[in-house]
């Protein structure tokens, strides 16, 4: 388990950063920076946000995730509104398991039981 070292709280014009171990904090306002540095920070942030969208994805999936994130930002939204993930009912899971060989089915049932899902 990692130990949290910093507490960062974004504000309208900057960020408040607290060193957790000491409680010392400071506020860092973008208003104190030159327009050139502000622009570089903005480009860096854009690079991070678009890169995060592709994290854990490859190829076309990564490209599509970046494009979706870009469209969300261009639409004036910071976060995308996504539909809930599809749900799998117990009946559907049992139906799918029924199509497997006995040993495969039992291995899956045992694995699910280890994480608290009992059929």
Token pair belonging to 5: 């070292």
Instruction: Please check whether residues 63 and 88 belong to one and the same domain.
Output: no
| Structural domain contains residue 79 | no
Report residue 116's pLDDT band, with 50, 70 and 90 as the boundaries: confident
More confident of the two residues 115 and 18? 18
Residues 6+ apart with CB under 8 A from 31: 13, 14
Check residue 83 and give its pLDDT.
61
My answer on whether 31 and 49 are in the same domain is: yes
pLDDT tens-digit readout, 47-83: 999 999 999 999 999 999 999 999 999 999 998 776 6
Helix (H) or strand (E) holding 2: none
Do 22 and 67 lie in one domain? The reply is yes
List the one residue out of 44, 11, 42 whose CA is nearest residue 25. Answer: 11
Round the CA-based radius of gyration of the chain to a whole number and report it.
Answer: 23
Give the pLDDT score at 84: 63
Instruction: Please tell me whether residues 53 and 10 are part of one structural domain.
Output: yes
Residues 64 and 100 in one domain: no
Residue 26 lies in a domain: yes
Orientation of helix 35-54 relative to helix 59-74, angle to 10°: 130
Q: 28 and 61: one domain?
A: yes
State whether 28 and 58 are in the same domain. Answer: yes
Task: Based on the fold, state whether residues 45 and 66 are members of the same structural domain.
Answer: yes
- The verdict on 68 and 14 lying in the same domain is yes
CB-facing half-sphere around the CA of 22: CA atoms within 13 A: 6
């Amino acid at each position: 388990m990692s130990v949290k070292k910093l507490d960062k709280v974004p504000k309208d014009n900057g960020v408040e950063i607290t060193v957790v171990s000491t409680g010392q904090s400071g506020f860092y306002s973008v208003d104190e920076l030159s327009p050139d540095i502000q622009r570089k920070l903005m480009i860096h942030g854009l690079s991070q946000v678009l890169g995060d969208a592709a994290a854990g994805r490859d190829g076309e999936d990564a490209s599509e995730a970046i494009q979706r994130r870009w469209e969300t930002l261009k639409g004036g939204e910071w976060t995308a509104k996504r539909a809930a993930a599809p749900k799998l009912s117990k009946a559907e899971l049992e139906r799918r398991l029924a199509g497997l060989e006995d040993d495969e089915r039992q291995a899956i049932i045992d694995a699910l039981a280890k994480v608290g899902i009992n059929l």
